[in-house]
C-alpha cells in the first residue's frame, strides 16, 4: 500500500468515527446554551423587558460557527498521530476524548449563553 492509500484510509476512518458524533456534540451544546439563556430570559420577558431577537440569533449563530470550528480541530490531532505508534493508543481513547470535549464545550456554551443573556438584559 502506498502513502496516498494509507492517508485516504486514515482520513475515511477518522471521518466515519467523528462526523456522526458531531451531532451529539451539537445537541449537547444546544441543550447547555438553552439552559444558560432561557431561564433568565423568561423571567426578564415576564417583567416586560424587550430583547432584540435578531441580535440574539446572530450571537448564537457566531457561537455555533465557533463550536463547529473547535470540533473540527480534532481532525488536526487525529491526522497528526495517524500512522504513528501513538495512533493505536489514540484510537483507544477517542471516546474519552469525545466525552471530555463535549463536557468542556457544554461548559463554554452555558457560559456564552449567560453572556448573551447579560448583554441583552443588562441590569446596569
User: Tens digit of pLDDT for each residue in 2-24?
Assistant: 778 877 887 788 888 888 899 99
Chain-wide mean pLDDT for the chain? 83
Cell of 27: 445537541
Report the distance separating Cα 82 and Cα 10, nearest Å: 7
User: Tens digit of pLDDT for each residue in 62-75?
Assistant: 999 999 898 888 87
Report the distance separating Cα 17 and Cα 98, nearest Å: 11
* Distant-in-sequence, close-in-space partners of 93: CB < 8 Å, separation ≥ 6: none
User: Tens digit of pLDDT for each residue in 33-52?
Assistant: 999 988 888 887 776 677 77
**In which band, very low, low, confident or very high, does the pLDDT at 79 lie, cut at 50, 70 and 90?**
confident
DSSP state of 36: H
Length of the chain: 124
Print burial letters for 11-48: b (CB count within 10 Å at least 16), e (below 16): eeebeeebeebeeebbebbbebbeebbeeebeebeeee
- pTM for the model stands at 0.79
Amino acid at each position: 500500500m502506498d502513502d496516498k492509500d494509507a492517508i485516504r484510509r486514515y482520513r475515511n476512518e477518522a471521518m466515519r468515527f467523528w462526523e456522526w458524533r458531531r451531532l451529539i456534540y451539537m445537541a449537547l451544546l444546544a441543550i447547555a446554551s438553552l439552559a444558560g439563556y432561557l431561564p433568565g430570559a423568561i423571567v426578564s420577558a415576564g417583567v416586560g423587558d424587550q430583547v432584540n431577537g435578531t441580535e440574539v440569533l446572530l450571537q448564537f449563530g457566531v457561537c455555533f460557527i465557533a463550536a463547529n470550528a473547535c470540533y473540527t480541530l480534532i481532525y488536526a490531532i487525529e491526522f497528526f498521530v495517524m500512522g504513528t505508534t501513538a495512533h493505536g493508543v489514540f484510537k483507544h481513547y477517542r471516546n474519552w476524548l469525545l466525552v471530555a470535549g463535549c463536557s468542556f464545550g457544554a461548559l463554554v456554551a452555558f457560559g456564552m449563553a449567560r453572556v448573551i443573556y447579560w448583554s441583552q438584559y443588562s441590569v446596569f
